[in-house]
Chains A and B, each alone.
Chain A
Amino acid sequence: GAVVSQHPSRVICKSGTSVKIECRSLDFQATTMFWYRQFPKKSLMLMATSNEGSKATYEQGVEKDKFLINHASLTLSTLTVTSAHPEDSSFYICSAREASTQQYFGPGTRLTVT
């Protein structure tokens, strides 16, 4: 149980385009989902917290107009990187939380902006 999927696993896009990443909880309802960014050989950096049906809460320094988060249902959250630039290239990971504090992570999406 507690499986979280992400799609796509890898994406390459051109500078200036937008990319959408999906995060799904497959076998449980996630009241809260989180989006992280991870640089090579670094720990996870929390970008935003999203609760189903409400606006996401962004961490300090994260541009909400650039990283659009939608949490449309209890099993789906999306992250859209708008007007992507090479510096947005990174590993993006989502997690989903059940009723307890435990967070279950997706497999990650590697974004490369050329």
Chain B
Amino acid sequence: QKEVEQDPGPLSVPEGAIVSLNCTYSNSAFQYFMWYRQYSRKGPELLMYTYSSGNKEDGRFTAQVDKSSKYISLFIRDSQPSDSATYLCAMSGMEYGNKLVFGAGTILRVKS
């Protein structure tokens, strides 16, 4: 079993839809949770950074962390074609030092 599970998709939605991206994990030692967006042939861009359980909102993006269920989500409201990219969840914790453990990435396609 992988430490971080993420459905690779692709996930295809119409423009304006609410997108839900998810990751599950197995190690309760994870404390820091991140979502990155990666366009084709580019480096990942940090979208959201959260610590422990709870919600965090930034514009059209909302990140949720449920440590009891070992489940994190990223919601994108009013999705746009420019949101089409691969979304990677990543997490870390004291046990991992400086290292990030990544999910496989979900390919999102927003159709106009």
Contacts and interface: CB of A to CB of B under 8 A. Distances in A.
A68 interface: no
B88 interface: yes
Interface stretch (A11-19, A72-80, A81-89, A102-110): A102-110
A32 B43 contact: no
Contacts of A105: 36, 43-46
Main secondary structure of the interface of A (DSSP, over half): strand
Contacts of B100: 46, 103
A54 interface: no
Contacts of A107: 42-43
A44 interface: yes
Interface string A85-105: 000000101010100011111
- Sorting the interface of chain B by its residue count into under 10, 10 to 19, 20 to 34 or 35 or more gives 20 to 34
Interface string B11-36: 00000000000000000000010101
Contact of B42 (A46, A101, A108): A108
Contacts of A4: 43
Interface string B78-102: 0000000000100010000111101
Closest 8 CB pairs of A and B: A105-B43, A107-B43, A101-B32, A108-B43, A105-B44, A43-B102, A43-B104, A93-B43
Interface of A: 2, 4, 6, 32, 34, 41-44, 46, 49, 91, 93, 95, 97, 101-108, 110
Interface of B: 32, 34, 36, 41-46, 49, 88, 92, 97-100, 102-105, 107
Given A34-B98, A97-B98, A102-B34, 13 more contacts: A2-B46, A4-B43, A43-B88, A43-B102, A43-B104, A44-B88, A91-B41, A93-B44, A101-B98, A103-B100, A107-B42, A107-B43, A110-B41
